[in-house]
Copies of this chain bind each other. A is one copy, B any other.
Amino acid sequence: MTTTNNNSVPKVSKVDVLIIGAGPAGLMAATGLTKYGINNIRIIDKRSTKIYTGQADGLNPRTLEIFQALGIGSEIAHEMNTFGEVCHWEPNASGEIKRTARSSVSPPGISKFQSSCLHQGRIEEHLMNNIARWSMSARPTNDGSNQSPTSKKVIVERAVCPDSIHLPPITSSPLSDKDEDQITLTLRHLSESEAKPAQFLPSTKDGLFRSNVFDSEASDLDSNPNGLPAEGSLETVQCKFVIGTDGARSWTRSALGYKLVGDSLNYFWGVLDGVPATDFPDIRGVSLIHSAENGSLMIIPRERNLVRLYIQLPQPIPGQRPNRDDITPEKLLQVTNSIIAPYTLRMPNVDWYTCYEIGQRLADSWHWNNRVFIAGDACHTHSPKAGQGMNTSMADTFNLAWKLAHVLQKKADLKILETYGVERSKLAQELITFDQKLSSLFSGKPAKDNEDSNGISLKEFHQTIEKSKHFISGTSVNYDSNILIFKGDDINSIIKSKPELAKHTPIGTRLLSNRVVCLSDANVSETLDLIPADGKWKVLIFPGDIQANEDCKIKLDQLSDFLANDKTSPIQRFTPVGQDTDSVIDCITIVSSSRTALELTQFHQILRPLQGPHRFGSYKKIFTDEESYHEGHGHAYEKYGINPNVGCIIVARPDQHVSLILDLNDHLALSSFFEQFMISPHFTPSS
């Protein structure tokens, strides 16, 4: 592709993963990798500072679950604003807007979190702090050694952008350390003025930043400066893997020759952030307002008394764009007031504003040879109003990070990387389809009556909102069958997944969280908190009522014996010598009997393994499904749809998605599942 500059003497470094772009997607990739123990990585960003104003802010329940899994849930919860309610406002017969409906933003019961928001800059700050922290603590790998024996603090390298990429032969081994097998990039170190984000430049004194309507502002960011680089400003980096999270105008995507495919809808919207003074009653709710004649408005109540307004701009003649002069805070507030009349809204201090044209675009490929990946806005762009951008982007790399860590730690075969693009591109397509429908309905002028075929149906708009709540929450994401997901739809497989054993637990989705009681200390845990982002596979054993049902008891004993003693058991096969038995595959047992009828010692040691150098017992592995002292009954068996007289095994991936559901005594399927893609650190005679 492009060549390096001859004037400079590039220094050469080697990393496992180079991440290009330190927005939410890139930072989540680095967060996951460092959390899982991979710290020979670099993350670069062409801007010299992080984002301080504007940009994304929506956090859906699934993203909050991911933050919780990463151990940063409470610090983010401390700052964010939770959306309590969504209100519809629509014109009555006289054309005056009235509140026509209100409901919860997230459907009750789908998560312990609700849709919320916090400014992208704060999210990035939290992620960066944790990347730095985690990268300093080396973790053991599959071969018992430390992947990164030396602590190496990973921080975002700013004012650095890629200049060229050289791909190795397609047949090269990604895990090889040879120079010729590496992906080689030239990086350019920018000067302060080259790297300053548009938000700080005099040319953006009017506040427009990252608008997709007016190219001039964005070009400050998205094109490299002309002219030869100064001597010493180039370097060479060799990588096993590259993650391009460099936004809608992704350099990485372009360098690979891939494109965003899609179109615009010719609807233009403005965005305005600030603290409003208003008599509009639902300014602290999510308000969806269709006015009779003046367009639509969406109100998003934010942290620190801020409010974001999405303001539909007057429709230009098809093919034309709005007038540049219409995009000022004053004009945006004028439109806002025309939409919410007779209510009024002032915003003495505007925090940020921009405008955008609604469009939906999808990358035509998500990776090169499963070694260079693109993620986030580089793969999917759409309108911001459903708050899906930052969420979906972070979910992309949360999906990718554990797989890359598994491969780099030689725990799993390269082929698991293929699932990244397959799983995430399907979701992105669903998002695009949803956004097209929602945007059209929200930007459309309401029909005056049933006869008015020029207007959109508000009834259809309501129904679309209602039906899409689960999707918007991010908790309905359901990956299709692949090497990591067995839905029981392949009857020829020896891996016989039985969805009917946990009939409210769709295989492919992330596990629903339910409250259970810890046998050893009577404290209540959420089941999702038992599947933190520690890079381990979770075998959730639901043996049923082992107190009342002898068959359940026997099956649990047989399963324990298999896990502990059979040489084909995944714990025996994949746990490195000298490591705790729960270091790769972690068993959590949830019985439906009461804890007062049980003693910890009844359970096989494999289910409550000895841990650490002093071999103390682990006490947070056995739980019961019953009334707790302070937090009621979680009804976990009922909510998962598990019969307490039958039980089952649920295998959850490190990202909390359900891989398969098995009979308690289907030891073979359990072994076979992991055998497909996991790599045993032990000598295997047959291989």
Contact across chains for B275 and A84 when beta carbons are under 8 A apart: no
Does A186 sit within 8 A of B, measured CB to CB? no
Residue interface bits A485-523, CB-to-B below 8 A is 1, else 0: 000000000000000000000000000000000101111
The copy count of this chain in the complex is: 2
Interface-located stretch among A16-24, A44-52, A593-601: A593-601
Interface-located stretch among A175-183, A277-285, A414-422, A437-445: A277-285
The 7 closest A-B pairs by CB, nearest first: A84-B522, A85-B522, A104-B629, A84-B523, A284-B521, A84-B521, A284-B520
The docked-state distance in angstroms from the alpha carbon of A266 to that of B436 is: 80
Which residues in chain A, 55-87, are within 8 Å of chain B measured between CB atoms?
A: 74-75, 77-78, 82-85
A601 contacts across to B, CB distance below 8 A: 279, 281
Most buried by B among A83, A279, A284: A284
Contact across chains for A619 and B284 when beta carbons are under 8 A apart: yes
Residue of B nearest to A87 (CB): B522
The docked-state distance in angstroms from the alpha carbon of A264 to that of B521 is: 34
Does A142 sit within 8 A of B, measured CB to CB? no
Which one of B285, B349, B520, B596 lies within 8 Å of A522 (CB-CB)?
B285
Interface, chain A (partner B; CB < 8 A): 74-75, 77-78, 82-85, 102-104, 106, 108, 114, 275-279, 281-285, 301, 305, 348-349, 518, 520-524, 596, 599-601, 610, 612, 614-617, 619, 629-630
**CB of A485, distance to nearest CB on chain B (Å):** 30
A281 contacts across to B, CB distance below 8 A: 520, 599-601
Given the known A-B contacts A74-B74, A614-B349, are A521 and B279 also in contact in the complex, defined by CB atoms under 8 Å?
no
Given the known A-B contacts A82-B523, A520-B284, A521-B284, are A277 and B614 also in contact in the complex, defined by CB atoms under 8 Å?
yes
Which one of B106, B282, B521 lies within 8 Å of A301 (CB-CB)?
B521
The docked-state distance in angstroms from the alpha carbon of A240 to that of B75 is: 38
Residue of B nearest to A600 (CB): B281
Contact across chains for B616 and A276 when beta carbons are under 8 A apart: yes
Residue of B nearest to A620 (CB): B284
A279 contacts across to B, CB distance below 8 A: 601
A619 contacts across to B, CB distance below 8 A: 283-284
A75 contacts across to B, CB distance below 8 A: 74-75
**CB of A631, distance to nearest CB on chain B (Å):** 9
A106 contacts across to B, CB distance below 8 A: 630
A521 contacts across to B, CB distance below 8 A: 83-85, 284-285, 301
**CB of A602, distance to nearest CB on chain B (Å):** 10
Contact across chains for B629 and A85 when beta carbons are under 8 A apart: yes
The docked-state distance in angstroms from the alpha carbon of A40 to that of B521 is: 45
The docked-state distance in angstroms from the alpha carbon of A279 to that of B48 is: 57
The docked-state distance in angstroms from the alpha carbon of A77 to that of B77 is: 13
12 sample A-B contacts, Cβ–Cβ < 8 Å, listed by A number: A74-B74, A74-B77, A84-B523, A104-B630, A108-B630, A114-B630, A276-B616, A277-B610, A281-B601, A283-B520, A284-B518, A284-B520
A305 contacts across to B, CB distance below 8 A: 612, 616
Contact across chains for A616 and B277 when beta carbons are under 8 A apart: yes
The docked-state distance in angstroms from the alpha carbon of A601 to that of B99 is: 15
Given the known A-B contacts A348-B614, A619-B283, are A78 and B74 also in contact in the complex, defined by CB atoms under 8 Å?
yes
A108 contacts across to B, CB distance below 8 A: 629-630
A285 contacts across to B, CB distance below 8 A: 520-522
**CB of A72, distance to nearest CB on chain B (Å):** 10
Residue of B nearest to A347 (CB): B614
Residue of B nearest to A83 (CB): B521
What would 19 more interface pairs be, CB under 8 Å, given A74-B75, A282-B520, A348-B614? Answer: A74-B78, A85-B521, A102-B522, A102-B596, A108-B630, A275-B616, A277-B610, A277-B614, A279-B601, A281-B520, A281-B601, A283-B617, A283-B619, A284-B518, A284-B520, A285-B521, A285-B522, A305-B616, A349-B614
**CB of A336, distance to nearest CB on chain B (Å):** 15
Contact across chains for B600 and A277 when beta carbons are under 8 A apart: no
Which one of B74, B103, B275 lies within 8 Å of A614 (CB-CB)?
B275
**CB of A517, distance to nearest CB on chain B (Å):** 8
A596 contacts across to B, CB distance below 8 A: 102
A524 contacts across to B, CB distance below 8 A: 84
A615 contacts across to B, CB distance below 8 A: 277
Contact across chains for B84 and A518 when beta carbons are under 8 A apart: yes
**CB of A123, distance to nearest CB on chain B (Å):** 17
The docked-state distance in angstroms from the alpha carbon of A599 to that of B87 is: 13
**CB of A169, distance to nearest CB on chain B (Å):** 49
**CB of A640, distance to nearest CB on chain B (Å):** 20
**CB of A581, distance to nearest CB on chain B (Å):** 16
The docked-state distance in angstroms from the alpha carbon of A278 to that of B278 is: 64
Residue of B nearest to A86 (CB): B522
**CB of A654, distance to nearest CB on chain B (Å):** 22
A282 contacts across to B, CB distance below 8 A: 520
**CB of A390, distance to nearest CB on chain B (Å):** 21
The docked-state distance in angstroms from the alpha carbon of A305 to that of B614 is: 11
